[in-house]
Chains A and B, each alone.
Chain A
Amino acid sequence: MTYALKINGTRQTVDVDGDTPLLWVLRDVLKMTGTKFGCGVALCGACTVHIDGVATRSCITTVDSVGDSSVTTIEAVGRTDLGRRVQEAWLDLDVVQCGYCQSGQIMSAAALLASTPHPTDAEINDAMSGNVCRCGTYNRIRDAIKRAAEGKQP
């Protein structure tokens, strides 16, 4: 069956089973590899994308559930002022190590800041707890979210 997905502002048509996870549609069918596979069952957050602005685990989101919603991935998150601010904060504080989880971390952080411009530590914990980093960049992630929150609101 074919699905016409709205991804990063562009309509993309794919021909896959309806129960195919969005993650594999992005990575294998559309060749957009910035979104990562980590666990397959929404335990690690590496596959996080925005669906209508909401941080969503693409590994358990079936393609037939996306409908007409707008999907934003790491490849396009920097097109908004907020997304770019998050990426810049990540660079300012040298957050990344291996970098594999960071697409998901940045997508979760950008969604958090969009809804909560000045998050408390508890709000950061709630929003970021689902994103695992085995390199242990958590302290710099927390600081970078606060750094991004200090920037001018769009």
Chain B
Amino acid sequence: MIELDAERLPRPVASCYSKKLSRRSLLKVGATAAGGLALAVALPSWSNAAVKENDPALNAFVRIEPNGRVHLTIPSIEMGQGIYTAMSMLLAEELEVDLDAVTVEHAPPNDALYANPIPILRQQTTGASASIRGFWRPLRLAGAAARLMLVAAAAKQWNVAASACSVRSGVVLDPSGTKSLAYRDLLRSAASQKAPAPDQIKLKPPEQFKLIGKSPKRIEAADKVSGRTQFGIDVILPGMKVAALAISPVMGGRPKDVNKAAALATKGVRQVVTIDQAVAVVADHMGAAKKGLTAATIAWDDGPNASVDSKMLVEQLKRASEGPGVVARNEGHFEEAFSGATRRIEATYELPFLAHAAMEPMNCTVHVRKNSCEIWVGTQIPTVTQAAVAALLGIPQDAVVIHNQYIGGGFGRRLEPDGTLLAVQIGKQVDGPVKVIWSREEDIQHDIYRPYYYDRISAGLDAAGQPVAWDHRVCGSSIIARAVPALFKNGLDFDAVEGAAEPPYALSNILVDYVRAEPPGVTTGFWRGVGPAHNVFVVESFIDELAAAAGKDPVEYRRNLLGHNPRALAVLNLAAEKAGWGKPMPAGKGRGVAVQFAFGSYLSLVAEVALDEKSTVKVERVVCAVDCGLPVNPLMIDAQVQSGTIFGLTAALRGAITFKDGRVEQSNFDTYLPMRIEETPRIETYIVPSAAEPGGLGEAATAIVAPAVTNAIFAAARRRIRRLPIEST
């Protein structure tokens, strides 16, 4: 359920990104070959590629075809977050067309046109809950610019002032309201109008919104309920073969012995391909390919990582966490304040490796030709993938064509090019197109895992129980150093400390540092919620510990530390009120709370848990208050709160990837357990109305739910969970 709390008034805050965006943007306008109008807002200063003035207009963000259909090329990829709907809304709002007049298309790789402008991305990446934050302005600018040009074209024809004309549903009306011209009849004339300078374009004020803030439904839903949506795994090409895959169970291992003859004797099997780290069986259909793969009875040379196990990895991290670290934040004098404190509290927190386990297993279709390569894959990083494939094949980047696809769950797994590179290595040996599909076991055992974290945290309290010193050491592998090395500066991984360096609370004498420790035989990567998904658990659990040590109510304790932070305080108060905080609960039940600022959004979440006589945890109710700035689509916001909550809850309760003899011990949904319908709690979303710049929400609830649940367990049973998952302790 969703509720917009109308009593809370919007309050403007500063823009979350630079105003320079509008001035630096390059608005490009042209006519399409078919006589339509094409328009793009390119962001040259933030992208790697230079914009060519004579770029064909075909790649543009927005095209209005002669039949009046509006085509929007979506820079981000749809993986369930609802971005195709939200972006269509932003465009339609300013263009003044109905939402169903917009047709969406996946964008080809092109940083010049489609880079997300927010500073941590600045490339065509769908991640960091940044799509709305990045495109909130450019897409509205594009829509408004097109509208202005179309209106100018109509005004010219009528010889009236453009400012006196109005627009309704793609039709321009003259000042008297008696004459009208549809956009489709104005395209040629509009294409010859001078494009307005981006900083001259006045965007609609919120009170004039017709779509933004409403809850239109997902635009691609009808295809998704009838099996028509084409995901990457559904790509079919003429002459295409399919391939089943076995990757070395130990990282760095290689196939030693493959019974190719047995595989080839299987009906429908065409070819056995061996590459460095894997074996693929190519066949007419996946049934044959899998059967052939079993027949191949592969023996592996495990290589140097065959003795890696979880106990060893955790021991290594524990030692590394003793320091020294790279300082992320240092204000005041922690040591002095800590030693002078009335009470000193210290704890260690641990979070496990996690797999993504999206419902659509990893897959990629490739057609490698002599000097080119064509790829069909659902990816969050089309340009990075394109560059990686070009480097692998030694061909120019523009010789690599990528057709992005709907993604059946991303969660960060599709922020890596590894699956595509593997498919290209296989495809190099196959004549014609081949679709490589990973089994669920391969998908779970060869994921790029959320890092294991071993954090040390301590605080000093004064006589009143207030924190006067705070020290948080984050220890784990660095995803940024591996995946985005240009952003790894002075040994600090900004993502690893996100949510730790800037907690929402007023904390004096604060020291936060980071120790990088890379586990052998394991590659780590982004996982929904990224840095905050680990740090918010540690910070919010520890704040709860401090409240308990001070003998204070957890909500009251937080309120006292949030006086300077009105938006955080407001979501806390709203969540507490809606959850009925303070009302007595029966024995064995408890409520826990958490507060978070991440991805530009403020959240507070209250969880209610029940423990049975075996201390099994059942989460019965979740109440989430959200201030994500101006709510673009409340229906989608609720969907992302539901989704993020369940994703985070699944991991908190039982998510863990462990290693033994260099191998991942989990393999399918019987050992890496997803949450199922009967365990799903009631989830209530309350949205704070706001006119502030929109924040991101795809990952926010994932990050906040774990500490709310573990704090509820503490409330119910005085049991403090300091190591996830809950069911392992």
Residues on A close to B: CB < 8 A? 16-17, 19-21, 23-25, 27-29, 31-41, 43-44, 46, 73-75, 78, 87, 90-91, 94-103, 106, 124-125, 128-129, 131-142
Contacts and interface: CB of A to CB of B under 8 A. Distances in A.
A39 B669 contact: yes
A103 B227 contact: yes
B81 A97 contact: yes
B237 to A, nearest CB: 11
Contacts, number: 191
B437 A37 contact: yes
Interface in B220-248: 220-231, 233-234, 236, 242
B676 A99 contact: no
B103 interface: no
Contacts of B290: 40
B236 A24 contact: no
B285 A24 contact: yes
Contact of B675 (A103, A124, A136): A136
Contacts of B218: 94, 96
B537 interface: no
A96 B219 CA distance: 11
B409 A135 contact: yes
Contact of A135 (B80, B222, B268, B670): B80
Nearest to A99: B224
Given A16-B285, A37-B286, A99-B220, 20 more contacts: A17-B267, A17-B287, A20-B291, A25-B285, A27-B286, A31-B236, A38-B440, A73-B227, A74-B226, A74-B227, A94-B218, A94-B221, A96-B221, A96-B224, A97-B643, A100-B231, A134-B358, A134-B674, A135-B359, A137-B642
B359 A38 contact: yes
A129 B82 CA distance: 25
A19 B440 CA distance: 20
Q: Which of B82, B287, B642 has the most CB of A within 10 A?
A: B287
B79 interface: yes
Nearest to A62: B287
B436 to A, nearest CB: 13
B134 to A, nearest CB: 21
B245 to A, nearest CB: 13
B453 interface: no
Contact of B645 (A46, A98, A102, A136): A136
A39 B225 contact: no
A151 to B, nearest CB: 15
Contact of A19 (B82, B227, B291, B678): B291
B677 A142 contact: yes
B285 A138 contact: no
A29 B290 CA distance: 15
Contacts of B81: 97
A132 B233 contact: no
A76 to B, nearest CB: 9
Given A16-B268, A17-B291, A97 B678 contact: no
